[in-house]
Amino acid sequence: MQIGTKGYSDKTLLLVILIVAAILRLVHLGGESLWLDELHTMNEAGPGVTLPELFDFLKTIDQHPPLFFLLEHFSFSIFGYDEFGARIMPALAGIASVWGMYLLGKEILSKRLGLVAAAIASVNIYNIFYSQEARGYIFLWLFSCFSYLFFIRMYKYLKWKDVLAYILSTVLLLYTHYFSLLVVFCQLLLGIVFWLSETEHKKKYFWLFFIGELAVLLCYLPWLPFLTKMSAIHSFWIGKVSPLFFLEYFYDYFANATPFAAILIGYFYYVFSKQYSFKSIRTNPVVLSGVFIFISVFFALLIPYLRSVFVVPMLVSRYTIIVVPSFILCIAYGLELIKKEKTRNVLLALILLVSLADVFFIKRAYGVHKEQFREMAQYISTESRDVPVINHITAWHSRYYFQRYQYKGEIIEANKEDMVDSILSGAYKADTFWLAGAHGDPYLDPVKRTQLDSSYVLLKERTFHNAWAQLFAKKQDK
């Protein structure tokens, strides 16, 4: 695809980009097993779960705002309660996010910039991966795009219709994930900067901005008790964050296209530094974009990093998906600022080809990446359908698949070593039983395994991707 649109209409190019985006996100959608976090979605938002039960889960087990889980809850009744039904809504959101990148790029500068941003997003492996996961992260990307789009439109055109669209998109964003609060904080900073730089419409912009933010706050008030409870957490599963986390995350975003991305971002800010003037934010697209991109990335990463250091670790790469649209805009704008058309086209082609190579050959987005809960449960259900399964860490998560395969045996969520002691002592009667694990759940302790082998024999064993199952039977007396 050329950056120039000679010979092609903008609508045709956008349609091609969206078709490519749809293919890359819909192919193999139900092919892999659901992994641990996706099984949270199945158990918490399943068709048999009542809405009060769903909200109880979001208070105690899976602390997230409710929008994604409500969408999934109703999606299951339309598309089915399986892998495809769980992932179709994120896939559609991923396709829509490519369209959102087009609209945002078009608003920042031109249709051509929008097309380039959309093309990069369409093959971006980070977007594809989270478009095929039954979690709400791709909705963060989608609603961040539209929230920033109407925020910028509100500033540029000073129209109430853009304020209303901003309120709606931002409320949807806030009810998707707690990291969306960082987007709103960045918008507050941007709003102050825009207001201070304004000369002609200072008063009108102030009232539009103030009323927009106030309406967003009022719409979010019902969820504040949940946020307060969440903010009180001072221990979490997330580990310590490295000061160099940004480099690791940036590679996550762009994989082997990272060098091109870094060079073009650097070039954009080189040009920005030559043109920057505080009073030219409204009139100079480079300055407007540079200020917007810097604030939307820098503070969205700095705040959670500081809180991770001084309060409780909270940084995970996928939570920071809110900054990827800004990076892609910066990359696209960096390409746009290159004067030679051939150079622009070659660089864009390289970015797209390297990104596709990551998707199909290097990172192998459609290979086996997720924990094979499905294969583990299917194997157990096929080999022996009515004996106890001892599954310490993931019994609650695995229940979706055991119910799906109509397993008749008891699923025991208990420490493996303690249960083996109970079986060997006769406190728990079991002539035959399964030991199973996934998501890093280790095999039975070697010492305990030696004790078990004195009275039981291993009949069957199977290893899967980050999952395993072993069937033991009591030795017959001679």
Q: Are residues 42 and 164 located together in one domain of the fold? A: yes
Q: 224-231 vs 51-60: helix axis angle to the nearest 10?
A: 30
Q: Are residues 339 and 385 located together in one domain of the fold? A: no
Is 5 strand, coil or helix? coil
Q: Which tokens go with 13?
A: 């190019």
pLDDT number for residue 6:
56
Is residue 1 situated within a structural domain?
no
Q: Which domain holds residue 140?
A: 10-362
As a whole number of angstroms, the distance between CA 467 and CA 448 comes to: 20
Q: Which tokens go with 170?
A: 């931002």
Residues in the chain: 478
Q: Which tokens go with 417?
A: 């070593």
pLDDT number for residue 97:
98
Q: Where are the alpha helices (DSSP H) in 46-82?
A: 51-60, 67-79
As a whole number of angstroms, the distance between CA 19 and CA 281 comes to: 35
The percent of residues above 90 in pLDDT, for the chain, comes to 92
Domain final position from 362, 385, 416: 362
Q: Are residues 272 and 384 located together in one domain of the fold? A: no
Which residues are within 8 A (CB) of 293 and not within 5 positions of it... i.e. 6 or more apart?
326, 327, 329, 330
Q: Are residues 354 and 405 located together in one domain of the fold? A: no
As a whole number of angstroms, the distance between CA 124 and CA 133 comes to: 15
pLDDT number for residue 415:
96
Mean pLDDT computed over 211-238: 89
Is residue 4 situated within a structural domain?
no
Q: Which tokens go with 128?
A: 């594809």
Q: Are residues 65 and 149 located together in one domain of the fold? A: yes
- Band of pLDDT at residue 7, cut at 50, 70 and 90: low
Domain final position from 298, 333, 362: 362
Beta bridge partners of 390: 412, 435
Q: Are residues 202 and 298 located together in one domain of the fold? A: yes
Pairing outcome for strands 456-464 and 432-438: unpaired
Return the sign of the alpha-carbon dihedral for residues 289, 295, 332, 261: positive
Which residues are within 8 A (CB) of 473 and not within 5 positions of it... i.e. 6 or more apart?
431, 432, 456, 457, 459
- 477: how many CB neighbours lie within 10 A of its CB? 4
pLDDT in tens, 267-313: 999 999 999 999 999 999 999 999 999 999 999 999 999 999 999 99
Q: Are residues 347 and 405 located together in one domain of the fold? A: no
First-to-final CA distance of the chain = 75
Q: Which tokens go with 190?
A: 């941007």
Domain final position from 340, 362, 384: 362
Domains in the chain: how many in total?
Answer: 2
Q: Which tokens go with 346?
A: 């070659």
Q: Are residues 392 and 357 located together in one domain of the fold? A: no
Is residue 343 situated within a structural domain?
yes
- Band of pLDDT at residue 1, cut at 50, 70 and 90: very low
Q: Decide if 459 contacts 470 (C-beta within 8 A).
A: no
Chain centroid to CA 207: 34
User: What one-character DSSP code corresponds to residue 414?
Assistant: S
pLDDT number for residue 166:
98
> Out of 220-229, 373-382, 388-397, 431-440, which region has the weakest mean confidence (pLDDT)?
220-229
Is residue 3 situated within a structural domain?
no
pLDDT number for residue 61:
86
- 160: how many CB neighbours lie within 10 A of its CB? 11
Is residue 367 situated within a structural domain?
no
pLDDT in tens, 122-151: 999 999 999 999 999 999 999 999 999 999
As a whole number of angstroms, the distance between CA 348 and CA 121 comes to: 12
- Band of pLDDT at residue 384, cut at 50, 70 and 90: confident
> Out of 82-96, 186-200, 217-231, 446-460, which region has the weakest mean confidence (pLDDT)?
217-231
As a whole number of angstroms, the distance between CA 367 and CA 363 comes to: 8
As a whole number of angstroms, the distance between CA 148 and CA 325 comes to: 10
Beta bridge partners of 127: none
Is residue 165 situated within a structural domain?
yes
Instruction: Please check the confidence at residue 478 and state whether its pLDDT lies above 60.
Output: no
Domain with 429 in it: what CATH number?
3.40.190
Q: Decide if 133 contacts 263 (C-beta within 8 A).
A: no
Mean pLDDT computed over 377-394: 94
Residue matched to tokens 């697209």? 285
As a whole number of angstroms, the distance between CA 277 and CA 14 comes to: 33
Q: Are residues 133 and 36 located together in one domain of the fold? A: yes
Mean pLDDT computed over 245-273: 98
Pairing outcome for strands 432-438 and 389-390: parallel
Q: Are residues 385 and 422 located together in one domain of the fold? A: yes
pLDDT in tens, 317-357: 999 999 999 999 999 999 999 999 999 999 999 999 999 99
Is residue 5 situated within a structural domain?
no
Q: Are residues 345 and 412 located together in one domain of the fold? A: no
Q: Which tokens go with 347?
A: 């660089």
- 61: how many CB neighbours lie within 10 A of its CB? 12
Is residue 121 situated within a structural domain?
yes
- Band of pLDDT at residue 4, cut at 50, 70 and 90: very low
Name which residue leads in pLDDT, 3 or 21.
Answer: 21
Q: Which long-range contacts (CB under 8 A, 24 or more apart) does 306-313 make?
A: 308/238, 308/240, 308/241, 309/241, 311/234, 312/233, 312/234, 312/235, 312/236, 313/236, 313/238, 313/239, 313/240, 313/241
pLDDT number for residue 476:
85
Amino acid residing at 425? S
As a whole number of angstroms, the distance between CA 407 and CA 399 comes to: 9
Q: Where are the beta strands (DSSP E) in 80-164?
A: none
Amino acid residing at 255? A
Q: Are residues 422 and 353 located together in one domain of the fold? A: no
Q: Where are the beta strands (DSSP E) in 200-359?
A: none
Q: Decide if 58 contacts 226 (C-beta within 8 A).
A: yes
